[in-house]
């Protein structure tokens, strides 16, 4: 039994929700996952939110634990996004909440670091690009990440749920 550090990149598909650099949680596992069987996301925001998410693509797809992952997220800012915006991130394994964290969008070391996008985020279409290193040791489990973004005025900015199902049995995903 060893301690597993779950780093933000595990949830890289959530790039728009920006949990790249600052989330860490400790979970124990005996048998780390070797593959991501499937992942998906759904928007849970409102039609008039300041940010509209268009697509998320990752390479390789599906992501491989222990390998670099590049992520592109295309979105529209329906209004300028100002410094002070933040994201409330909740990570669950199954139904159990393992982590809740608020992450800043604009600050030094914030979500937008090294993405090609800086604050204030201008109104219009954007593609956020990020390179991340997936941790090698990810528990074989079903993860849900809920990310709710808020503006500097604490108004809803966006909402996305990401689902990721990690397996130990590599053969089942044909890798
Ligand atoms: C991200 O966009 C760049 C530039 O358009 C492209 O070269 C790259 O393949 C894209 N990566 C992914 C993961 O979609």
Q: What ranges do the domains of the chain cover?
A: 3-165
Local confidence band at 142 (pLDDT 50, 70, 90 cut-offs): confident
Q: Which residues sit with their C-beta closer than 6 Å to ligand 1?
A: 57-59, 70, 72, 129
Ligand 1 mean position, distance from CA 116 (Å)? 13
**pTM for this prediction:** 0.76
User: Does the domain spanning 3-165 belong to CATH 2.60.40.770?
Assistant: yes
User: pLDDT digits over 29-41, tens only?
Assistant: 556 666 666 788 9
Ligand 1 mean position, distance from CA 2 (Å)? 36
Candidate of 13, 60, 72, 128 to mutate for ligand 1, largest count of ligand atoms within 8 Å of Cβ:
72
User: pLDDT digits over 78-94, tens only?
Assistant: 999 999 999 999 999 88
Do residues 146 and 90 lie in contact, with contact meaning Cβ atoms separated by under 8 Å? Answer: yes
Q: Is the pLDDT of residue 73 over 50?
A: yes
Do residues 6 and 138 lie in contact, with contact meaning Cβ atoms separated by under 8 Å? Answer: yes
Ligand 1 mean position, distance from CA 72 (Å)? 6
pLDDT of residue 62: 83
């Amino acid at each position: 039994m060893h301690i597993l550090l779950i780093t933000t990149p595990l949830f890289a598909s959530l790039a728009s929700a920006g949990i790249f650099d600052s989330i860490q949680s400790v979970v124990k596992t005996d048998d780390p996952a070797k593959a991501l069987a499937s992942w998906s996301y759904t928007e849970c925001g409102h039609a008039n939110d300041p940010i509209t998410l268009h697509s998320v693509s990752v390479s390789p797809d599906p992501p491989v634990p222990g390998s670099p992952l590049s992520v592109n997220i295309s979105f529209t800012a329906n209004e300028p996004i100002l410094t002070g915006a933040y994201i409330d991130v909740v990570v669950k394994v199954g139904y159990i909440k393992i982590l809740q964290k608020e992450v800043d969008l604009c600050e030094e070391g914030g979500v937008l670091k090294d993405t090609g996008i800086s604050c204030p985020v201008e109104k219009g279409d954007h593609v956020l690009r990020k390179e991340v290193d997936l941790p090698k040791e990810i528990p074989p489990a079903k993860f849900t990440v809920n990310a709710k973004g808020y503006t500097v005025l604490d108004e809803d900015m966006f909402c996305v749920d990401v689902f990721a199902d990690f397996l130990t049995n590599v053969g089942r995903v044909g890798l």
